Structure 1
Amino acid sequence: MTTAEPRAERRPGRLRRMAVDTRPLKHAPYRRLWTSSIVTAMGSQMTAVAVPYQIYQLTNSSGWVGIASFCGLLPLIVFGLWGGAIADTMDRRTLMMLTNTGVAVASLALWVQAALHVDSVALLIVLLMVQQGMFGMNSPARQATIPRLVPAEELAAANALGGTVMSIGSLVGPMLGGALIPITGLSALYLIDACGLVVVLWAVIRLPALPPLGSAPRRAGFGNIAEGFKVGMANSLLAWSFGVDLIAMVFGMPRALFPQLADTTFAHQHLALGWLYAAIPLGSLVGGLLSGTFSRMRRHGLMTIIAVGCWGVAITAFGLTGDLALAVVFLGLGGAADLMSMVFRQSILQTVVTDELKGRMQGVFTVVVAGGPRLADLVHGVGGAALGTRAAITCGGVLVVIGMIALAVLVPGYRDYVAED
């Protein structure tokens, strides 16, 4: 009995260390912002399913799905960079209120066009571009706010919590979307997204004022945006953290091929579509719930390389299988690796950049994180049409693995980076 009791006492401690670190939730402003993200994540992911599905139904082409997503990249780049500069010059709470309202209006317009059966690919692309522009302005302000709401030592945990809640929405949203399309029709998905943004507005309104700090610029001009780029490119840690994500997403994110895979490779089209979109978030959710196993690690550079390498292996395996269950497992493993990579890359940025530059650098981060998958949509859409879906996916995964091996060997400064305590 005496030897068994200490083991029983130690076991809960181990489990707590493995589970997601919830310390940031002690801070009420962060807790409200984090909680509201659950609803909006589900709605936004329903729209992320609805738009490519509607375009594929109108055109019967994965190439058009990729083209439409790529069209959303231009406003994302322009307004992401500009929004990051604005976030350094004005109250970030006010900027989030304005841009969340803009995203909601775009979602309502998507609902109207679907409900009225306009069936115009051009209109869909225009509305997608508007929505992406508003998102591009919102995201830098939101991410730059987090270091003002939690202590520095809890940033990695806060990023893991944010990734976890986004994974919950990204998991439930596609599954609900795939199930609701044949029942309620496509338009309901857009309406749910718009309604969810009301919850986000409530959370943002209750945040404290977040005015600029230190030597922040007074206006968001081209020179201020260029300064953000200059800082990012001059800091090798930031530059390589952006490069790592671009390699992972451009070569390894095959979501543009999901509608075609669901239609031609896997049985039960709507069910398969939902599972394919939900698999990566499901893996991210599991990774987030177990993020205590890695969120306290200090070797952020090496862990990022390992995580992205595992992502590439998982995507390669996904491309080689024709079984839906195995496809979901491999995508799920990739999602867990992607969550780990995001936590460390975001923590690197939030740690090495001062507050008066955080908005602009988060703008660059937003362009990279959200723009990479859109470039991937174009690459995989065209590649899938030329090589076949599974060949394009497999080749992309192999390129990601090769890229991470090269980075680990050739860039020791990034590989050996250790975060300060």
Structure 2
Amino acid sequence: MSEYVVDDRVMPRFQVNRDVMVDPEVFAKERDAIFEHSWLYIGHETELKKNDFKTRTVAGRPLIFARDAKNDIRVWINSCPHRGAMLCRERDGNARFMTCFYHGWSFSISGDMVSMPGDDSYGADFARPDLAAPARVDSYRGFVFVSFDPEIVDLKTYLAGATEYLDLVCDQSATQMQVLEGTHEYSIKANWKLLVENSFDGYHAVSTHQRYFEMVLAARGSLDPSALADSRAVDLGNGHAVVAGAPATEGLFGRPLSESGAAERDRRFGDFRARYGDGWVDRMQGNRNLVIFPNLVVIDLVMGVVIRKIDPVTPDYMEVTAWELAPPEEGEELRRQRLDNFLTFWGPGGLASPDDVEALESCQVGYGGRKELGWSDISRGMNKTAASTSDELQMRTWWRRWNELITGEVLPPEEQSALGEMFTAGRRPADASAAAVTR
């Protein structure tokens, strides 16, 4: 039996030991058992044009995320093979070559060595080193992942049921969804797993974000919480999970669109219905909070798609990076209202994100009393055959995978016997346009 997780199906009750949020030894185990053996998000293909690069940190490693002169996506370890200095010290740029400022070794953006000053001081048979890369790099629908485990399963197998929910996001463009310029960056003095939980926790919404819902109520005149009756939490396999709502939930979140913005949105989704059919588009018009194990969050809510990358730094400190994903073909007015809703809710200075930061940091302080109160409860909805978005099946799904990788204990998934017609009938048609599913 795990020392970290209690999964009692008889009571039923699910608990997590609060030591996992503070213990440096657990944090070290996570680095080795989870981040060394998972597919980890680094960026989106649309962030890069030819010879562009961006510097990112993944699993504690400095990386260069680039597109070379042949338009191929490349990922390199951001360290010169000579003495280790960072090759790229800028956040981003456009260059055919990267030269180490320390001793001048130079490499093409394709990773090949170009020159080394005083190379006649090396033997004729000296093997000129190229740049090093993660063991695996792959992408799905523009989302680029790396893994440092050469034996890991292929990306699509790893993503399992999460591909269906990425498709619901990506199919909202007739070409390819695009990451907009600009990045949200902030830090939280709390354990990284708390933000994973919070990212698909529907239970806290009304109590934590009261001022946001007051603003929405003032803008809309009324709110109908009964729309949440068709929402579900779904186990997607491999630790991934989602909470998703029907189209009726659209009216619960964000300020209403203008007449012209709503008309453009309706036209766009009308075109999608001709391509994909009503069932799939009904689901597209709902909302979804998706967590891809261990630390990638994709949220399609409040007229915006958030890509959120969570980076653990210490047991009680994380760094968060977020981007907005949008269809490039939408008009200026709809884009303006999308960004307004996005910033109002998701921005680090918006009406929701600061609430979440405060809640998570409050939890971390509370764990100072873990000797007297040592377990957190994540049991909500265990007595149901169909978990809603305000239940906690999605978190238990994530924790069971975490527990398996950390302790080796395999806990069986919960039965999901009543997903509802929206989730079982609204599937992506097999003959959908191939152009919409290319990587």
Greater RCO, 1 or 2 (C-alpha within 8 Å, sep 6+): 1
Q: Given the two structures, how large is their TM-score scaled by the length of structure 1?
A: 0.26
Which one has the largest radius of gyration? 2
Q: Given the two structures, how large is their TM-score scaled by the length of structure 2?
A: 0.25
